[in-house]
């Protein structure tokens, strides 16, 4: 029988989040992953004009860019912030006392 954590202050990581470079589930990485595959699927499907009774639209670069670029900006912005301030920073990015 597995032990359950009944502490309401801790949040268990969900199984569906894609793991980041630290091995933790990340909403940002998951959103970028899904956006990449949706954009790729739209591009590949746009090769065909029609599949059975389903009409496929032409690939719209502007629509896919407006979907993918903000998510990539969020991802790289978070990576930059983590690299610059790191987990050891205090509130508002202030460095703690040096030991």
pLDDT per residue as tens digits for the range 18-68:
888 778 888 888 999 999 999 999 999 999 989 899 898 899 999 989 989
Cβ atoms within 10 A of the Cβ of 77, count? 11
Cβ atoms within 10 A of the Cβ of 81, count? 12
Average pLDDT on 82-87 reads 79
Residue 1: pLDDT above 60? no
pLDDT, position 40: 92
Give yes or no for a contact between 74 and 20, defined as CB atoms under 8 angstroms apart: no
* 39 token code pair: 């954009």
């Amino acid at each position: 029988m597995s032990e359950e954590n009944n502490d309401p202050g801790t949040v268990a990581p969900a199984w569906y989040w894609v793991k980041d470079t630290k091995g933790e589930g990340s909403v940002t990485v998951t959103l970028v992953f899904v956006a990449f595959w949706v954009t790729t699927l739209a591009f590949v499907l746009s090769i065909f004009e029609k599949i059975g009774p389903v009409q496929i639209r032409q690939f719209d670069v502007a629509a896919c860019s407006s979907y993918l670029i903000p998510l990539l900006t969020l991802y790289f912005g978070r990576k930059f912030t983590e690299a610059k301030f790191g987990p050891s920073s205090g509130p508002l990015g202030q460095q703690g006392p040096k030991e």
